[in-house]
């Protein structure tokens, strides 16, 4: 375990499985205290237990953070448990159906936006006052699909693309932000078609 994030408090949304789980385990090994968020039924307590077995500190927060009251409660959990907030990682997201635009049910599209875009907006909104105090960071998961599009997958392109302009628009109100590909991609596409490697501190493993 290193100490590059020693003393920092990190919230990870969608932290119960896959990339989110890998992020939680990685930042904890770097010394951060972690709030692991997930939907009801997600194995967030298992992630907390794994962190604690490894000598780290973590707290579980179960709830759908696209609901305003639960997003605020997630932030409050970090503050009540650890007294500060240094990093917000907006990783939560769902893929309910993949289809072309003309075949996409409107209610499913709306649900994707609620779970993927609204959740990041609400968490960012309520985290910002506390992150300004700690000169903290916001990291929002994106993907090459949000830059280049993805055939047969309207919702992934739309939800990931929304990350970039919102991050740029709010950059002036916080010290640093990042809109990275889904945490452990080995490379990502740029608008000009070039690739570059993401930050090396992000984990490369995922469950399943």
Residue 97 is predicted with a pLDDT of 65
Contacts of 108 (CB under 8 A, 6+ apart): 96, 97, 155
Residue 149 is predicted with a pLDDT of 55
Residue 178 is predicted with a pLDDT of 40
Q: What is the mean pLDDT of the chain?
A: 77
Residue 183 is predicted with a pLDDT of 34
Q: What is the dihedral of CA 157, 189, 123, 43, to 10 degrees?
A: 80
Cα(80)–Cα(56) distance, integer angstroms = 18
Report residue 155's pLDDT band, with 50, 70 and 90 as the boundaries. low
Lowest mean pLDDT among 6-15, 39-48, 178-187: 178-187
Average confidence (pLDDT) over 40-57: 97
33-38 and 57-62 strand pairing = parallel
Report residue 93's pLDDT band, with 50, 70 and 90 as the boundaries. confident
The domain 9-185 is placed in CATH, from the list 3.40.50.720, 3.40.35.10, 1.10.268.10, 3.90.190.20, at 3.40.50.720
Question: 140 φ, ψ to 5°?
Answer: -115, 130
188-189 and 176-181 strand pairing = unpaired
27 and 6 Cβ atoms separated by less than 8 Å: no
33-38 and 137-142 strand pairing = unpaired
Helices marked H in the chain: 18-29, 44-53, 68-82, 106-113, 119-134, 145-148, 154-161, 163-169
Report residue 110's pLDDT band, with 50, 70 and 90 as the boundaries. confident
The per-residue pLDDT for range 129-150, each reduced to its tens digit, is 999 999 999 998 866 555 555 5
Report residue 190's pLDDT band, with 50, 70 and 90 as the boundaries. very low
């Amino acid at each position: 375990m290193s100490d590059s994030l020693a003393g920092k408090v990190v919230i990870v949304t969608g932290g119960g499985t896959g990339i989110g789980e890998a992020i939680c385990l990685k930042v904890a090994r770097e010394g951060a205290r972690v709030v692991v968020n997930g939907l009801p039924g997600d194995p967030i307590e298992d992630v907390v237990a794994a962190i604690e077995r490894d000598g780290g500190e973590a707290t579980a927060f179960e709830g759908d953070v696209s609901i305003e009251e639960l997003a605020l409660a997630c932030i409050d959990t970090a503050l009540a448990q650890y007294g500060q907030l240094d990093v917000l990682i907006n990783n939560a997201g769902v893929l309910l159906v993949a289809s072309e635009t003309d075949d996409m049910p409107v209610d499913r599209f709306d649900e994707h936006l609620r779970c993927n875009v609204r959740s990041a907006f609400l968490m960012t909104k309520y985290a910002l006052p506390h992150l300004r105090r700690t000169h903290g960071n916001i990291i929002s998961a994106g993907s090459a699909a949000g830059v280049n599009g993805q055939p047969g997958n309207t919702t992934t392109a739309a939800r990931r693309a929304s990350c970039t302009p919102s991050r740029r628009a709010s950059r002036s109100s916080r010290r640093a932000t990042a809109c990275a590909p889904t945490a452990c991609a080995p490379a990502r596409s740029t608008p000009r078609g070039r690739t570059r490697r993401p930050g090396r501190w992000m984990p490369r493993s995922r469950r399943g």
